[in-house]
Amino acid sequence: MDKNISNLSIRLIEQKDNEQVEKLILDVMGEYECIGVGYSSSDPEVKDMYTAYQGERASFFVITDEEKIYGVGGIAPLSGGDEDTCELRKMYFYQDLRGLGYGRKMMDLLLETAKKSGYKKCYLETSSRMKRAKQLYLKYGFNPLCGQEGNTGHSGCDAFYIKEL
């Protein structure tokens, strides 16, 4: 475990974070064999997450000790969805951060941010291989859906959830 893991904060992404955020997303998605077309790891925004989340009603956060980024997560309007629905996007953590409560901290922050941004529902999609993430989503009251909503382009995802805010 990293020596600075106990001294972490969550803050909005900054331009300087782009390279580390891209690496984290690709590393974690690779760990779950979720690389390639149909997965969020292939989204063009991964190269410049800072710019991608500067739009209205979008926010992206990093968990950091100001040297290394250990986790990320964001919300943005659901592409192809109604204006009341946001999508929880790219919530990923390095292995050494998992199980320490940061998933709950990030989820609390994202859901509160979504409410403050005027969203009524939060949608997410993931891979069933991400079992601990699924447990977190269910604990937070996300309900499984039979299929995909919106137009995310993530055909590789096989688990879909929605939560009333």
d(CA 70, CA 19) in angstroms, rounded, equals 13
- Tens digits of residue pLDDT in 78-119: 999 999 999 999 999 999 999 999 999 999 999 999 999 999
d(CA 9, CA 139) in angstroms, rounded, equals 23
> Which has the closest alpha carbon to 115: 125, 126, 107?
107
Domain-located, residue 16? yes
pLDDT band at 1 (very low <50, low <70, confident <90, very high): very low
Inform me whether the pLDDT recorded for 3 exceeds 80: no
Exposed e or buried b per residue across 31-55, where buried means at least 16 C-beta atoms within 10 angstroms of its C-beta: ebebeeeebbbbbebbeebbebbee
List for the chain the helix, strand, coil content (%; round to 5): 35, 25, 40
Domain hosting residue 13, numbered range: 9-119
Q: What domain count does the chain have?
A: 1
**According to the model, what pLDDT value does residue 2 have?**
52
Domain-located, residue 139? no
**According to the model, what pLDDT value does residue 110 have?**
98
Domain CATH code at residue 17: 3.40.630.30
- Output 154 or 5, whichever has higher pLDDT: 154
